[in-house]
Protein backbone atom coordinates (compact mmCIF):
# COMPACT_ATOMS: atom_id res chain seq x y z
CA UNK A 1 0.00 0.00 0.00
CA UNK A 2 1.37 3.42 -0.89
CA UNK A 3 2.33 5.97 1.73
CA UNK A 4 -0.25 8.40 0.34
CA UNK A 5 -3.04 5.85 0.91
CA UNK A 6 -1.82 5.09 4.41
CA UNK A 7 -2.00 8.78 5.35
CA UNK A 8 -5.35 9.47 3.63
CA UNK A 9 -8.07 8.56 6.17
CA UNK A 10 -10.87 8.72 3.57
CA UNK A 11 -9.02 6.40 1.20
CA UNK A 12 -8.19 4.02 4.04
CA UNK A 13 -11.85 4.02 5.12
CA UNK A 14 -13.02 3.25 1.57
CA UNK A 15 -10.53 0.41 1.31
CA UNK A 16 -11.70 -1.17 4.59
CA UNK A 17 -15.33 -1.00 3.45
CA UNK A 18 -14.45 -2.35 0.01
CA UNK A 19 -12.48 -5.29 1.42
CA UNK A 20 -15.39 -6.27 3.67
CA UNK A 21 -17.91 -5.94 0.83
CA UNK A 22 -15.83 -8.01 -1.56
CA UNK A 23 -15.43 -10.70 1.09
CA UNK A 24 -19.22 -11.19 1.18
CA UNK A 25 -19.16 -12.53 -2.39
CA UNK A 26 -19.20 -16.32 -2.26
CA UNK A 27 -18.39 -19.03 -4.78
CA UNK A 28 -21.19 -19.56 -7.32
CA UNK A 29 -22.87 -16.20 -6.80
CA UNK A 30 -24.32 -13.93 -9.48
CA UNK A 31 -23.17 -10.46 -8.48
CA UNK A 32 -23.88 -6.84 -9.36
CA UNK A 33 -20.76 -4.67 -9.41
CA UNK A 34 -21.26 -1.00 -8.67
CA UNK A 35 -19.71 2.25 -9.85
CA UNK A 36 -17.62 4.95 -8.22
CA UNK A 37 -14.41 5.18 -6.24
CA UNK A 38 -15.29 2.66 -3.52
CA UNK A 39 -16.78 0.22 -6.04
CA UNK A 40 -13.56 0.42 -8.05
CA UNK A 41 -11.72 -0.88 -4.99
CA UNK A 42 -14.35 -3.63 -4.59
CA UNK A 43 -13.92 -4.72 -8.20
CA UNK A 44 -10.13 -4.77 -7.79
CA UNK A 45 -10.52 -7.08 -4.79
CA UNK A 46 -13.06 -9.29 -6.58
CA UNK A 47 -10.66 -9.56 -9.50
CA UNK A 48 -7.91 -10.67 -7.15
CA UNK A 49 -10.18 -13.34 -5.66
CA UNK A 50 -11.24 -14.55 -9.12
CA UNK A 51 -7.58 -15.05 -10.00
CA UNK A 52 -7.31 -17.15 -6.84
CA UNK A 53 -10.21 -19.37 -7.95
CA UNK A 54 -13.45 -17.62 -6.94
CA UNK A 55 -16.16 -18.66 -9.39
CA UNK A 56 -18.82 -16.01 -9.97
CA UNK A 57 -20.64 -14.23 -12.77
CA UNK A 58 -21.27 -10.51 -12.72
CA UNK A 59 -23.19 -7.62 -14.24
CA UNK A 60 -21.64 -4.16 -13.92
CA UNK A 61 -23.59 -0.94 -13.39
CA UNK A 62 -21.58 1.24 -15.77
CA UNK A 63 -19.42 0.97 -18.86
CA UNK A 64 -16.40 1.96 -16.78
CA UNK A 65 -17.03 -0.76 -14.18
CA UNK A 66 -17.75 -3.29 -16.93
CA UNK A 67 -14.44 -2.54 -18.63
CA UNK A 68 -12.58 -2.77 -15.32
CA UNK A 69 -14.18 -6.15 -14.54
CA UNK A 70 -13.37 -7.52 -18.01
CA UNK A 71 -9.76 -6.37 -17.71
CA UNK A 72 -9.45 -8.22 -14.40
CA UNK A 73 -10.88 -11.43 -15.83
CA UNK A 74 -14.17 -11.34 -13.92
CA UNK A 75 -16.77 -13.40 -15.88
CA UNK A 76 -19.59 -11.21 -17.18
CA UNK A 77 -23.20 -12.33 -17.63
CA UNK A 78 -26.35 -10.57 -18.86
CA UNK A 79 -29.97 -10.06 -17.84
CA UNK A 80 -31.30 -12.63 -20.30
CA UNK A 81 -29.35 -15.51 -18.79
CA UNK A 82 -29.27 -14.13 -15.23
CA UNK A 83 -32.65 -12.62 -14.28
CA UNK A 84 -31.78 -12.52 -10.55
CA UNK A 85 -28.61 -11.62 -8.68
CA UNK A 86 -27.63 -13.03 -5.30
CA UNK A 87 -25.86 -9.85 -4.22
CA UNK A 88 -25.11 -6.36 -5.52
CA UNK A 89 -22.31 -4.27 -4.04
CA UNK A 90 -22.11 -0.52 -4.61
CA UNK A 91 -21.31 2.80 -3.00
CA UNK A 92 -23.57 5.81 -2.33
CA UNK A 93 -23.40 9.58 -2.24
CA UNK A 94 -25.53 9.76 0.91
CA UNK A 95 -26.85 7.22 3.41
CA UNK A 96 -29.61 8.35 5.75
CA UNK A 97 -29.13 7.10 9.28
CA UNK A 98 -31.84 4.73 10.43
CA UNK A 99 -33.75 4.15 7.19
CA UNK A 100 -30.61 3.58 5.08
CA UNK A 101 -32.31 5.47 2.26
CA UNK A 102 -29.74 6.45 -0.35
CA UNK A 103 -28.88 9.15 -2.83
CA UNK A 104 -26.88 7.67 -5.67
CA UNK A 105 -25.88 8.70 -9.15
CA UNK A 106 -23.41 11.58 -8.88
CA UNK A 107 -21.03 9.36 -10.80
CA UNK A 108 -23.61 9.44 -13.60
CA UNK A 109 -24.66 5.77 -13.52
CA UNK A 110 -27.90 5.92 -11.53
CA UNK A 111 -30.14 4.32 -14.17
CA UNK A 112 -27.90 1.30 -14.70
CA UNK A 113 -27.27 1.05 -10.98
CA UNK A 114 -30.97 0.83 -10.23
CA UNK A 115 -31.62 -1.63 -13.07
CA UNK A 116 -28.95 -3.95 -11.70
CA UNK A 117 -29.69 -3.53 -8.01
CA UNK A 118 -33.47 -3.92 -8.27
CA UNK A 119 -32.94 -7.57 -9.31
CA UNK A 120 -30.53 -8.37 -6.47
CA UNK A 121 -31.66 -10.40 -3.46
CA UNK A 122 -29.35 -8.25 -1.31
CA UNK A 123 -27.82 -4.81 -1.82
CA UNK A 124 -24.70 -4.12 0.22
CA UNK A 125 -23.57 -0.50 0.28
CA UNK A 126 -19.93 0.28 1.11
CA UNK A 127 -19.07 3.85 2.15
CA UNK A 128 -16.80 5.95 4.32
CA UNK A 129 -18.24 7.88 7.31
CA UNK A 130 -18.60 11.14 5.36
CA UNK A 131 -21.55 9.68 3.46
CA UNK A 132 -23.79 9.35 6.54
CA UNK A 133 -26.46 12.05 6.94
CA UNK A 134 -29.45 12.67 9.18
CA UNK A 135 -31.47 14.35 6.42
CA UNK A 136 -31.35 12.97 2.89
CA UNK A 137 -30.28 15.65 0.44
CA UNK A 138 -28.49 17.77 3.04
CA UNK A 139 -25.11 17.39 1.27
CA UNK A 140 -25.87 16.14 -2.24
CA UNK A 141 -28.66 17.05 -4.61
CA UNK A 142 -30.71 14.26 -6.18
CA UNK A 143 -29.53 13.42 -9.70
CA UNK A 144 -32.44 12.86 -12.05
CA UNK A 145 -31.80 11.28 -15.45
CA UNK A 146 -33.93 12.82 -18.19
CA UNK A 147 -34.49 12.44 -21.91
CA UNK A 148 -32.45 15.08 -23.81
CA UNK A 149 -35.41 15.88 -26.09
CA UNK A 150 -37.38 18.71 -24.46
CA UNK A 151 -35.25 18.54 -21.33
CA UNK A 152 -35.97 22.23 -20.76
CA UNK A 153 -39.69 21.44 -20.45
CA UNK A 154 -38.92 18.58 -18.08
CA UNK A 155 -36.82 20.95 -16.00
CA UNK A 156 -39.70 23.44 -15.91
CA UNK A 157 -42.06 20.77 -14.57
CA UNK A 158 -39.53 19.83 -11.88
CA UNK A 159 -39.02 23.49 -11.02
CA UNK A 160 -42.76 23.92 -10.54
CA UNK A 161 -42.61 21.03 -8.06
CA UNK A 162 -39.98 22.94 -6.05
CA UNK A 163 -36.84 21.00 -6.99
CA UNK A 164 -34.82 23.92 -8.49
CA UNK A 165 -33.24 21.65 -11.13
CA UNK A 166 -29.81 22.42 -12.60
CA UNK A 167 -28.42 20.73 -15.70
CA UNK A 168 -25.22 18.80 -15.12
CA UNK A 169 -22.56 20.07 -17.52
CA UNK A 170 -18.88 19.54 -18.25
CA UNK A 171 -16.31 22.28 -17.69
CA UNK A 172 -16.82 23.43 -21.29
CA UNK A 173 -20.53 23.96 -20.60
CA UNK A 174 -21.72 21.02 -22.70
CA UNK A 175 -24.32 18.72 -21.08
CA UNK A 176 -23.04 15.62 -19.30
CA UNK A 177 -24.29 12.52 -21.15
CA UNK A 178 -24.91 9.27 -19.27
CA UNK A 179 -24.17 5.73 -20.44
CA UNK A 180 -27.82 5.62 -21.52
CA UNK A 181 -27.36 8.79 -23.62
CA UNK A 182 -29.46 10.93 -21.30
CA UNK A 183 -28.95 14.22 -19.43
CA UNK A 184 -28.89 14.67 -15.64
CA UNK A 185 -30.71 17.35 -13.68
CA UNK A 186 -29.56 17.95 -10.10
CA UNK A 187 -32.59 18.53 -7.87
CA UNK A 188 -32.85 20.10 -4.41
CA UNK A 189 -34.70 17.66 -2.14
CA UNK A 190 -34.90 19.64 1.16
CA UNK A 191 -35.86 22.80 -0.73
CA UNK A 192 -38.86 21.03 -2.28
CA UNK A 193 -40.41 20.44 1.13
CA UNK A 194 -41.19 16.85 0.11
CA UNK A 195 -40.20 13.70 1.93
CA UNK A 196 -37.94 11.28 0.04
CA UNK A 197 -40.97 9.07 -0.62
CA UNK A 198 -43.06 11.98 -1.90
CA UNK A 199 -40.17 13.21 -4.05
CA UNK A 200 -39.68 9.77 -5.58
CA UNK A 201 -43.36 9.66 -6.53
CA UNK A 202 -43.15 13.16 -8.00
CA UNK A 203 -40.15 12.21 -10.13
CA UNK A 204 -41.88 9.03 -11.27
CA UNK A 205 -44.93 11.02 -12.41
CA UNK A 206 -42.95 13.60 -14.36
CA UNK A 207 -42.94 13.07 -18.12
CA UNK A 208 -39.38 13.16 -19.46
CA UNK A 209 -37.81 11.69 -16.33
CA UNK A 210 -36.14 8.36 -17.02
CA UNK A 211 -35.01 7.55 -13.46
CA UNK A 212 -33.99 9.29 -10.24
CA UNK A 213 -31.21 8.83 -7.72
CA UNK A 214 -33.40 8.12 -4.68
CA UNK A 215 -32.79 4.49 -3.73
CA UNK A 216 -35.40 3.95 -1.03
CA UNK A 217 -35.88 0.71 0.92
CA UNK A 218 -33.25 -0.96 -1.24
CA UNK A 219 -30.14 -1.24 0.94
CA UNK A 220 -30.02 -4.52 2.86
CA UNK A 221 -26.96 -3.44 4.79
CA UNK A 222 -24.41 -0.63 4.87
CA UNK A 223 -20.76 -1.16 5.75
CA UNK A 224 -18.94 1.96 6.93
CA UNK A 225 -15.19 1.78 6.70
CA UNK A 226 -12.73 3.63 8.88
CA UNK A 227 -8.94 3.45 9.10
CA UNK A 228 -9.39 1.24 12.18
CA UNK A 229 -12.07 -1.14 10.91
CA UNK A 230 -15.71 -1.32 9.87
CA UNK A 231 -19.19 -0.70 11.24
CA UNK A 232 -22.26 -2.54 9.92
CA UNK A 233 -25.65 -0.84 9.76
CA UNK A 234 -28.99 -2.55 9.18
CA UNK A 235 -32.12 -0.58 8.25
CA UNK A 236 -34.37 0.42 11.14
CA UNK A 237 -37.96 -0.32 10.14
CA UNK A 238 -40.35 2.32 11.48
Q: Active-site residue numbers?
A: 113
Cα dist from 139 to 62, 130, 134, 136, whole Å: 24, 10, 10, 8
SS3 186: strand
Where does residue 135 fall: left (phi above 0), alpha (psi -120 to 50 degrees), or beta otherwise? beta
Q: 211: which residues sit within 8 A by CB, 6+ positions away?
A: 110, 111, 114, 144, 145
Please state the separation of Cα 167 from the chain's center in Å: 20
Burial class (CB in 10 A: 0-12, 13-18, 19+), 103: buried
State the DSSP H helix or E strand holding residue 1, giving kind and residue range, or none if neither: none
Q: Which among 148, 129, 130 has a CA at the least distance from the CA of 139?
A: 130
CB of 119 within 8 A of CB of 85?
Answer: yes
Summary count for the chain: helices (H), strands (E): 8, 14
State the DSSP H helix or E strand holding residue 222, giving kind and residue range, or none if neither: strand 221-226
Amino acid sequence: MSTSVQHDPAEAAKRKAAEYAAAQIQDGMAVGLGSGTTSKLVIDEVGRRVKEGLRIKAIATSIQSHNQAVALGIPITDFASTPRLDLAVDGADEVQRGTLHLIKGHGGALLREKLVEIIADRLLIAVDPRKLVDTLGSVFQVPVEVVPFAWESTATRLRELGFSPELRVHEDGKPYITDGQHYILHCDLPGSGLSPEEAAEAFNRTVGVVEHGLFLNMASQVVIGSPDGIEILDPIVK
